[in-house]
Amino acid sequence: MTNSVLITGGNKGLGFEAARRLSEQGWTIFLGSRNEGRGKEAADKLADGGVNVVMVPLDVTSDESVTEAVRLVRAHTDRLDVLINNAGAPGNAVTPANATADELHAVYDTNVYGPVRVTHAFLPLLRAADHPRVVMVSSAIGSFAVQADPAQAATKLHELAYSSSKAALNMITVRYAQAHPEIKFNAVTPGEVANRKFAATDMNNHTGQLTVTEGTDPIIKLATLDPDGPTGIFIDRLGPVSW
Ligand SMILES: NC(=O)c1ccc[n+]([C@@H]2O[C@H](COP(=O)([O-])OP(=O)(O)OC[C@H]3O[C@@H](n4cnc5c(N)ncnc54)[C@H](OP(=O)(O)O)[C@@H]3O)[C@@H](O)[C@H]2O)c1
């Protein structure tokens, strides 16, 4: 039976590359995009190659949008094998002294409440799959171990919103994994923590040293885990990453 996957923020960057790579394996792709035009353009690119792709209008900050997304996916399938919570917002790199609750709230709405909104809404479809998997696209910047290592450039980036949102997402991943052993909940960082590398995308103005294909390696690994694979882990493309 073919696998199906919903990818939030699937219209570009790592989300689109994950969609492209999983479609190469014959998967049905539900390509989430908050902007319908950009989503359609991305879905058309895959469809041109013969992929079974459905563009799903999906703004992870909106309950209504998420509800509509569930309705649309349900019209095509009665189960979802994999959910990739990929959509992310970098925030404005506001320093701790200048950060306000509003600044944090905007970033958390996408990076923390977004994955919870989408996961909660899609749990029934995930539970209907034989061995469901949820991949949380987190960041090394949200790792306490990375932030405790002065050799990591992330420690010199003095901002609050993005890093703490990804730390929250890491804990949320662990808590889901503990409570739902029937679903694999794992987190990735798209870079190479040991080599202090990340993937070149719009989010970092293409300053990353890795390609999007390299950046999606851990996403693909966790999306395609065997039924006896791990849950509650955090990895990059080289292996396990410390929380
Ligand atoms: N690149 C890296 O090395 C790196 C490192 C660590 C973590 N990450 C994480 O990887 C994920 C993907 O980022 P990327 O590097 O591929 O950046 P990107 O190319 O900027 O892609 C971000 C995606 O998220 C979507 N998005 C933002 N807010 C959204 C919302 N409210 N609802 C739905 N979609 C929304 C964007 O949609 P629009 O096109 O409409 O803006 C876009 O599709 C993010 O979670 C990011 O934090 C990336």
- Active centre residues (catalytic): 162, 166
Residue 4: the pLDDT is 98
Distance, CA 203 to ligand 1 centroid (Å)? 7
Total count of residues recorded for the chain: 243
- What stretches in the chain show pLDDT beneath 50? none
Residue 96: the pLDDT is 96
Across all residues in the chain, what is the average pLDDT? 97
Residue 208: the pLDDT is 97
Residue 121: the pLDDT is 98
Asked: is 4-240 a CATH 3.40.50.720 domain? The reply is: yes
Q: What is the DSSP string of 11-79?
A: TSHHHHHHHHHHHHTT-EEEEEESSHHHHHHHHHHHHHTT--EEEEE--TT-HHHHHHHHHHHHTT-S-
pLDDT tens string 119-162: 999 999 999 999 999 999 999 999 999 999 999 999 999 999 99
Atom of ligand 1 nearest to the CA of 138: 7
Residue 2: the pLDDT is 87
Which residue's CA is the closest to the ligand 1 atom numbered 19? 13
Q: What are the sequence ranges of the domains in the chain?
A: 4-240
Distance, CA 13 to ligand 1 centroid (Å)? 7
pTM higher than the cut 0.85: yes
Residues near ligand 1 (Cβ within 6 A): 8-9, 11-15, 34-35, 38, 58-61, 86-89, 110, 137, 139, 189-191, 198-199, 201-204, 208, 215
Q: How far apart are CA 55 and CA 75, in angstroms?
A: 13
Number of Cβ within 10 Å of residue 180's Cβ equals: 17
Distance, CA 91 to ligand 1 centroid (Å)? 11
